[in-house]
Structure 1
C-alpha cells in the first residue's frame, strides 16, 4: 500500500509518464548545473586524503546477489519511495570514497554460487562450486577430502580471533547458509546445514559434519561473540516443534552451557532491542525456523538488518583490541531467484540502511568498512524509459516488432516466462493489474524453475583505513587479504609486519 500511495503522489506531481519534480529537470537543462556538480565532485576527491591508519575494526557487508544493475535500480527505487529524484539519489555505500570491481568466478565454474565465492572473499582462496572453507582439491560431496586439514582454509574471522579481536556474524538468511558459513565452516556441500540434510543426500554422518554443529563445537564458530539471523530448525532436535535435527542434539542448549561469561539467547525483535549490552558478552539470536521474512512481508516480530547490525556493533566494540563483523543482506538473492525484483530492490535498500548505521556508530579513522556482493544475477535494466518513470513499472517505449510495451527491469531467465502467450507472443503488460506489487514476477526470457546467478563482475565499495587497496579490478580472493593487511591479522603481509620490517 505504501508503494502505491507514494507512486500515485509522485505521478500527480511529475506527470505519469515521468513522475519526478519538474523543477529538477528544469535545472538540469542548464549546463551550469552539471558544471557546478562536477566541480563539487572534483573538489571532494582532491581533498580526500589516504587513510593509512591501522584498521582496529573491520566490518564486511555482503549483499548476496547484489549485481551492479541491482545497485542502480535500488538507488532509483529508494529515491522514488522517498519522493525524490531517484536517478540522482544514492545508497549509503555509494558515498564511500573507493570503488573497485571483483571477479567472481569459481575454480570450476564461470558463474559462481554463494559457497565458492564465500570461500574466496572470506578465506582468500578460490574454490569449487558449492564447497565452503576448503581448497579446490575438494569436489562437491567429497566429505572425506573436506575433513583433511591441509584441504581446509581459514577465514578472516579465524585470523581476527587469533589476533585477539572479537568476531560476529549477522544475516537475514539462516546463520548456516553459505555466506555466513564461509566465516567458520569446512564442508564439501553448502546444503549440509544440519544432519537432516546430510541424511537426505544419502551421505554418511560419520564422514560428513553439518554446518550448524561446526558453528557450535568448532573454532572459530564457537568463539563468535555475536550470531544473529535465522535457521532455528538446524539447531534443535526433530522431536521439538521447530527442529529438524536427527541426532537429538539441542545445539542452542550446548551453546549456552559452553559460555563461561554472560550469554543471551533471543528469538524475537523485542528481546534483541532490550538486550543489556553491558552485561552481554555473547549473543545468539535465531529469529525464524529458516530464513528471515522479506522486509516487505515482516511485521514487528523479527528485527531488521539495521537493528541486528547495531546490536552486534555495540557488543563487539567492548573489546578494546577491536573486532571483525560479517553482515549479509541475504534475501536480495532469494528474491532475484524468483524474479521478484521489487523485493530484491527493497532488500538492497535495507542493506543500505544497515551500512549507514555502521557508519554512524564507528569512526572512519580506525574502522574499515567494505561492501560488496558474492555474485551477480541476470536482472537487467533496459529500454529508454523517461526520467522518473517507476523503476518497477512498465517502460515508456514500445517494441517496434510487436508494438507492445515492456518492463524496464527484466530477467534473462527464471520462473516468470509466463508473460508470453502459448503462441509465443508477449502479453500486453498494460492488461496485467499487479505490476509493481511486491510479489509481481518480472518477465524472463528462458523458462527455469529458479532464476540463475550472473557471471558479471560485482562492485566493491570501501571506506576507512587502507580502503584505497580496493580500487581497480581485483580477484574476489584478494578482499580478505587486503582487509587483513589493514587490520594486522593473519599470516600474510600486514601493515604491522611492514612497519616492523621498515624499523
Structure 2
C-alpha cells in the first residue's frame, strides 16, 4: 500500500513544473538549478542562418577524460572543489560524441583524424589530405586521391582562412588544413624520386603565396630553413642546404614573426599574409612559456586579421601540446595547456557573433588516461586520492592506501614512461612511496602500468561542442568526418 508521501510524489512527478515545486526537495539548490537548466533547454532555438565565419578549435588529445582533468584543475585553481567548474566550451548549447578511429586503425593518429574533420572523409593513419586509397609513404599512390580541405573550399568561396597551432605548423593537425601528403612526416623533404608531391612546409608557403591561407602561426621554424642556416634563436634547420622558405615568404610580401615582439608588431589589417614561427620545433608548454604568444593571443590576432575580409573567414585553431604532455605522462602540463586552450575558446567566442559565426570545439582523439579510487571531493586532480568525509563535503585530507600500503594519485595512465614496472628487475616492480608535494610537482610523471617509451592515444569517443549557425546538427554519436559536413552545410546554406 502506498504511503501518503509516495502518493503525493507520484502525483507531483506527473504534474506540471509548477506543481513540482511542492516537492519536499523543491528548495534544494540542486533542484532549483535543475529546474533552471530545463527552462534554458526549452528556450533553445536552432540558428539556421548562413555562417559567415567558421572557427574549429581542436585540443589535440583532449578526450572526455583529459577534459575532465582540465575542468577540475581550472576550478581548483580558482579555489573551488573543481567538479562544479564549467569550461567555456561546456557552456555551448549543442554537443555530440565523435567516433575517432581511422579506416585502418582502431586507435587513431592525428593526421587521419585531422583529414576527416577538414575534408569530410575518413582515411588511414599517418596520411594528410588524401583518401583511404593512398598508402602511407607511397608517393605514387597520391595521384587521384587528394582531397580538398575546408581552407581550400572557403578560400575558393572568397573567404579568408588561417591556421594556428602550438605544435609545429607542419605537424599533422595543422597540416590537414592545407597539405596533401602520403606521410605526415614529410615536413621538410620527400624521399628521392618522389615527384608527385612537395613537402608540407613548401605546401604551406605555396598556400600563402596563392592566397589560400592568409594567417599561419605556430612552431616548426626548422622545417622552413636549411641545415646550414641558423635561425634567430641560434638553431639550425632541417631542409637541404641553402633552402630558406622564410625568406621566400618575406619576398612575396608576407609578414614574418618569430617572437613576442614581432608578433605584437604584426599587421592585423589584412594588408599582408602573416607567417608566425615561434620555435624551432613545437612551441613551449604553457607552464614554460616566455618570449612567445599564448594560444589565446594567436587566436585573437588571427580573428582580427581574417575579419577584414567582408565575405568572412575560416580558422582552424589547435592546442597541440595537450597531446604531447599526455604522451609524456605529465598531467601537470596537460591541464595547464588545457586551460590555455579554454582561454582561447573564450576569446574566440567574445570576438565573434553567435548570429553569423559557427564555433566548433572538439578533440581529435583521447589518451590512455585513467582515474583511480573513491576520492573525496576536492582531491587535487594532480595529487593523491583523499578519502571521502561522510560527515561533510570536502575530502578527509587522508590519502587512501592501496593494498601495497602506499597512496596513489587521482589520475594515472594505462601505459607510458611513468610505468611502475622496471626493466632492471625483469619488468617486475613495486610502486614508490609518494607525497602530495611530489605528485603535484609540474615535472611529475603520473604512475602508469604498461611500460612504453611514450604514452599512447586511445580509441574512445571525444566530445564536440558547438554554437552558432547550424550548431544544432551536432546531436547523438557521429563519425568524425561529419564535423566537416556540418561546417560545409553551415557555410553554404541559403
Q: Which TM bucket (shorter chain)?
A: 0.7 to 0.9
CA distance in 1, matches of 2:214, 2:488: 19
CA RMSD between the two structures:
2.0
**TM-score under structure 1 normalisation?**
0.86
Q: Give 1:433 deviation, angstroms.
A: 5.2
Which residue, 24, 34, 39 being the options, matches 1:38?
Answer: 34
Cα distance in 2 for residues equivalent to 1:257 and 1:339: 42
The one of 362, 366, 369 aligned to 2:356: 366
- Per-residue Cα deviation, 1:457-482 (whole angstroms, up to 9, x for no partner): 00000010110011111110111111
Q: 1:321 maps to which residue?
A: 311
Give the match for residue 492 of structure 1.
none
Q: Is the 8 A contact 2:160 2:306 kept in 1?
A: yes
Distance 1:481-1:471 versus aligned 2 partners, 3 A rule: same
Corresponding position of 1:235: 224
Contact 2:383 2:436 in 1 (8 A): no
Could you say if the C-alpha distance between residues 219 and 143 of structure 1 is closer, same or farther in structure 2, counting changes exceeding 3 Å? Answer: farther
Partner-residue secondary structure (3-state), 2:284: coil
Q: Which runs of 5+ in 1 are unaligned?
A: 1-28, 489-494, 497-503
The residue correspondences of 1:52-71 to structure 2 (distance < 5 A) are 52-71=48-67
CA contact (8 A) 1:141 1:189 kept: yes
Corresponding residue of 1:14: none
Structure 2 gaps of 5+ residues are: 1-24, 231-235, 388-399
TM-score by length of 2: 0.87
Alignment of structure 1 residues 335-484 onto 2, 5 Å: 335-396=325-386, 398=400, 401-418=403-420, 422=425, 424-430=428-434, 434-484=438-488
CA distance in 2, matches of 1:89, 1:221: 44
CA distance in 1, matches of 2:459, 2:401: 27
Measure, in 1, the Cα distance between the counterparts of 2:212 and 2:250.
12
Distance in 1 of aligned mates of 2:55 and 2:71: 22
Alpha-carbon distance in 1 for matches of 2:385, 2:148: 47
Asked if the contact 2:26–2:32 (Cα under 8 Å) also holds between the matched residues in 1, the reply is: no
In 1: Cα distance, 2:37 partner to 2:285 partner: 36
The residue that corresponds to 1:159 in the other structure is 153
Residues 222-249 of structure 1, C-alpha deviation per residue, up to 9 Å, x if partnerless? Answer: 5211010011111112211132211522
Conserved 8 A contact 1:281-1:315: no
Q: For residues 473 and 270 of structure 2, what CA distance do their matches in structure 1 show?
A: 37
Quick check: 1:250 aligned with 2:244? Answer: yes
How many residues get paired? 451
Structure number with greater Rg is: 2
User: Helix, strand or coil for the counterpart of 1:144?
Assistant: helix
1:193 maps to 2:197: no
CA distance in 1, matches of 2:206, 2:272: 18
Aligned to 1:265: 256
Worse-superposed segment, 231-240 or 54-63 = 231-240
**1:264 Cα offset (Å):** 1.4
Q: What whole-Å deviation, never above 9, does each CA across 1:357-399 have from its counterpart, x for those lacking one?
A: 0011000010000000111101012311110110100112545
Q: Specify which structure has the higher proportion of helix.
A: 1
Cα distance between partner residues in 2 of 1:334 and 1:30? 46
The question of whether the paired residues in 2 share the 8 Å contact of 1:73 and 1:381 is answered with no
Give the C-alpha shift of residue 282 in structure 1.
Answer: 1.4
Contact 2:120 2:484 in 1 (8 A): yes
In structure 1, distance between residues paired with 2:177 and 2:114: 8
What's 2:129 paired with? 133
Task: Give distance in 1, aligned partners of 2:209 and 2:489.
Answer: 20
Please tell me whether the aligned partners of residues 214 and 221 of structure 1 are also in contact (alpha carbons under 8 angstroms): no
Equivalent position SS for 1:39:
helix
